[in-house]
Amino acid sequence: MNIILLGPPGAGKGTQAARLVEHHGMRQLSTGEMLRAAVAARTPVGIKAAEVMARGELVSDEIVSALIDAELVAMGPATGAIFDGYPRTVAQAEQLDAILAGHDRKLDHVIELLVDEDALVERITGRFSCSSCGEGYHDTHKLPQTPGVCDKCGSTEFARRKDDNEETVRTRMAEYRKKTAPILPFYDARGIVTRVDGMADIGAVTDEVEGVLAQGA
Ligand code: AMP
């Protein structure tokens, strides 16, 4: 199964993707994560992307689509894919169709997480994650059970994303409204979009997402 999680920054795409990976052995394909890894490793792609990302703008369609294609090659055909943060433009959505066809895959579901934008700024600026296993936390909604120690792996190192500050978040949201939201009619026309209340608690959102997967391909 191949699904897209769509929604503005902070909607909970990464959180839900991590749960699907755990429950179904699917693979999360997050272009944001891939780009952050490229920036950290100072690869040519990372060097090109770093400033664009710091401003909260979008990296070129060609770069991200090439990352996705390479990831699908590495994955092999049996593993389901969860696209998280990709596609983000209509051009990327068209490129994804071509990439999937090239891997004998097809898109089964698009899940749009509906959220209240004002709440997102608070969600995003408070979030941090374990540097070792990537488990996500939040200053007010989800602190580690033992202060300073990751619940999942015991690490004491945590990190915040450089682009999770209010100014950059506002730009990222404007980019979402302008360039990503127009993807929805493209998928609506195929009847594969399900809308889920992304403001509900994490477990309730997961239940709804699982319901969509239970519909099958
Ligand atoms: P994310 O982790 O999905 O919030 O992405 C962080 C940043 O990486 C975004 O603000 C963009 O600068 C860049 N990025 C991630 N995915 C894409 C994409 N599909 N297209 C263009 N830029 C992207």
- Residue 32 CB less than 6 A away from ligand 1: yes
> Looking at the annotation, which residues are catalytic?
13, 88, 127, 161, 172
Per residue in 8-45, pLDDT tens?
Answer: 999 999 999 999 999 999 999 999 999 999 999 999 99
Quickly count helices (H) and strands (E) in the chain.
9, 8
Q: Is the pTM of this model over 0.85?
A: yes
- The pLDDT, as a whole number, for residue 76 is 81
Q: Which atom of ligand 1 is nearest to the CA of 172?
A: 10
- The pLDDT, as a whole number, for residue 216 is 82
- The pLDDT, as a whole number, for residue 207 is 96
- Residue 144 CB less than 6 A away from ligand 1: no
Q: Mutate which of 59, 64, 67, 89 to test ligand 1's pocket (most atoms within 8 Å of Cβ)?
A: 59
- Residue 72 CB less than 6 A away from ligand 1: no
d(CA 137, CA 168): 20
First CA to last CA across the chain, in angstroms? 6
Per residue in 93-128, pLDDT tens?
Answer: 999 999 999 999 999 999 999 998 888 898 899 999
Per residue in 130-172, pLDDT tens?
Answer: 999 999 999 998 999 999 999 999 999 999 999 999 999 999 9
DSSP secondary structure code for residue 153 in this structure: T
193 Cα to the center of ligand 1, angstroms = 21
- Residue 52 CB less than 6 A away from ligand 1: yes
Q: Looking at the DSSP assignment, which residues form a beta bridge with residue 130?
A: 158
Per residue in 197-207, pLDDT tens?
Answer: 999 989 999 99
Question: Where does 116-159 show beta strands of DSSP type E?
Answer: 127-130, 136-138, 158-159
What angle, 0 to 180 degrees and rounded to 10, lies between the N-to-C axes of helices 166-175 and 44-55?
A: 100
